[in-house]
Structure 1
């Protein structure tokens, strides 16, 4: 089974995915209404963490897929599937806004890992896009391991710069 097969199956039966991505912001709103004060948040932070991961993993995947399709595959925006390519992102943004209105992301366990993961994906896609557009052909005697180490150092530099920026 390929990713295209999964997407075709979801396109034929869109109700489960639609219910999932509508339920997540709704659940965040209900949980926000249930939280009475700031002391009560400490008991809810793990449920918020589950909700954040449940919405961010598909949302980040959809963002990455969109960037790949639009930059590398040159897919037209008119051919984008709203349910699979944009609904997860919209649901993620709405859910995170609702959660942020009740609790700081500093209190949510593992939220920094998601931000770091998104930074790494953004850096990798940016570097891949740069090399895709560069069309550089080089004949070199530099060993592949040195190129790999250089690539990792560039990623670490991007990560360090990103942490200083925010």
Structure 2
């Protein structure tokens, strides 16, 4: 199974994707409605789960969208709404809803998630700059080599970030 097969599956099973993000939205609204000072220690774990549940697909969809537009030159009008745009919109909406009641920095694991997103973003920008500057022939191989270079850059950035943070 390739990455394109996974994208095609999500593109052909709209109902599953809509149910997933619909349930996440309902849970986010429910959490903000029932949270108070007495139960915040319990509810913040549910909120943390929701943040991960919508942020990981949202960030993946964002970078797939950017990859299709910037690297492949695809038109935004040819990309599926449910596959590429719904996860991004749902991520932003649910994060805004949850942020009204509790600061994201107070949720368990959010600092790790945000630093991972920053590292992935920096890696993506570096790959885009390398690809646009005709730096090498590595990108002629396709998406697999691009993912390999992306993984190496991400590991190097992670090590550099750890040394910088200490």
The two structures share one fold, judged by TM-score above 0.5: yes
The alignment's TM-score, normalised by the length of structure 2, stands at 0.79
Superposed, which structure 2 residues align to 1:1-80 within 5 Å?
A: 1-35=1-35, 37-80=36-79
Where do 5+ consecutive residues of structure 2 fail to align?
137-151
Partner in structure 2 of residue 89 of structure 1: 88
Q: Per the alignment, do residues 79 and 42 of structure 1 end up closer, same or farther by CA in structure 2, a change over 3 Å counting?
A: same
How much does 1:10 deviate? Answer: 2.7
Which contiguous aligned blocks of 4+ residues in structure 1 show a shift greater than 2 angstroms?
6-13, 37-40, 151-157
- From 154, 160, 163, the equivalent of 1:156 is 160
Aligned length: 148
Q: What is the TM-score of this pair, normalised by structure 1? A: 0.79
Separation in 2 of the partners of 1:18 and 1:155?
A: 37
Which of the two has higher C-alpha Rg?
Answer: 1
RMSD: 2.5
Q: Is the 8 A contact 1:46 1:109 kept in 2?
A: yes
Q: Compare the two structures and name the one with the higher helix fraction.
A: 2
Name the SS for the 1:109 alignment partner.
coil
Q: Evaluate the alpha carbon distance shift between residue 11 and residue 134 of structure 1 in structure 2; reply closer, same or farther with a 3 A threshold.
A: closer
